[in-house]
Amino acid sequence: MLNDNTIENLIEGVMRHGPEILDKCLSDAEELAQYRSNLHKEFLNYEVPKSAIDSNNWLIPAEYKNMDIEQFLIDQCPEENIERLNKELSLFRTHKMIPALKAMKYIVDALRKNNIVWGVGRGSSVASYVLHIIGVHKVDPIKYDIPIEEFFKGEDNG
């Protein structure tokens, strides 16, 4: 019978040496190549579930849940960028992502308050001027002419 300590050691070993163990279990090179190919296809074809966001259960302070994030963003936005901001806000509304913006504002504020460093930005998030204003990333998509559609790739952008 396995005790808790043995199970922890097994889990730690698999986490640390998983790829090596898998390679040994799949000793046939063709079998290994097929496994990796299937795994790659599975991840590429994975569809994100389209379920409603229930932000009522998120553990963020009431001041963030109740904040007018759109007004905050408008107040932070230079006049020359207001058209881009309004376009993005419309997309965020359409995709019912306004609660996520409030949560992101809370996360960024908490990181700053606790002197925690995070990345300058990566992936499609840098296409969002809204996320730039909130402080999620440091890349100004207007300066680099990155269209917001890069952020909402694969979505119906109305």
Q: What is the pLDDT of residues 104-116, one digit of tens each?
A: 999 999 999 999 9
Q: Determine the Cα–Cα distance for residues 37 and 132; give it in Å rounded to an integer.
A: 36
If one compares 121 and 112, the residue with the highest pLDDT of the two is 112
Task: Give residue 22's domain range.
Answer: 4-44
Residue 144 has pLDDT above 80, yes or no: yes
Same domain, 63 and 133: yes
Q: For residue 141, tell me if it sits in a domain.
A: yes
> Average of pLDDT values for 65-70?
96
Examine residue 156 and state whether it is found in any structural domain, yes or no: no
Q: Are residues 12 and 36 in the same domain?
A: yes
Verify that 89 and 133 share a domain, yes or no.
Answer: yes
- Is 37 domain-assigned? yes
Q: Is the pLDDT reported for residue 23 higher than 70?
A: no
Same domain, residue pair 64 and 29: no
**76/39 same-domain check:** no
Q: Are 37 and 63 in a shared domain? A: no
Number of domains forming the structure of the chain = 2
Residue 50 covered by a domain = no
Torsion angle (degrees, nearest 10) of CA 24, 26, 32, 37 = -110
Residue 72 shares a structural domain with residue 140: yes
What mean pLDDT comes out for the span 21-39?
A: 63
pLDDT at 125 over 60: yes
Burial of 130 (0-12, 13-18, 19+ CB in 10 A): buried
Does any domain span residue 158? Answer: no
Q: Are residues 27 and 94 in the same domain?
A: no
Position 52 in a domain: no
Residue 57: pLDDT band by 50, 70, 90 thresholds? confident
Average pLDDT over residues 114-136: 92
Examine the domain organization and report whether 40 and 106 are in the same domain.
no
- Cβ-contact 155, 95 below 8 angstroms: yes
Residues 16, 74, single domain; the answer is no
Same domain, 66 and 133: yes
118: left (phi over 0), alpha (psi -120 to 50) or beta: beta
Structure tokens at 130: 């809204």
**Are 12 and 64 in a shared domain?**
no
pLDDT at 24 over 60: no
Separation of alpha carbons 158 and 149, rounded Å: 11
- Confidence label for 157 from pLDDT (cuts 50, 70 and 90): low
Q: What contacts 24+ positions apart, CB below 8 Å, involve 110-116?
A: none
101 is a domain residue: yes
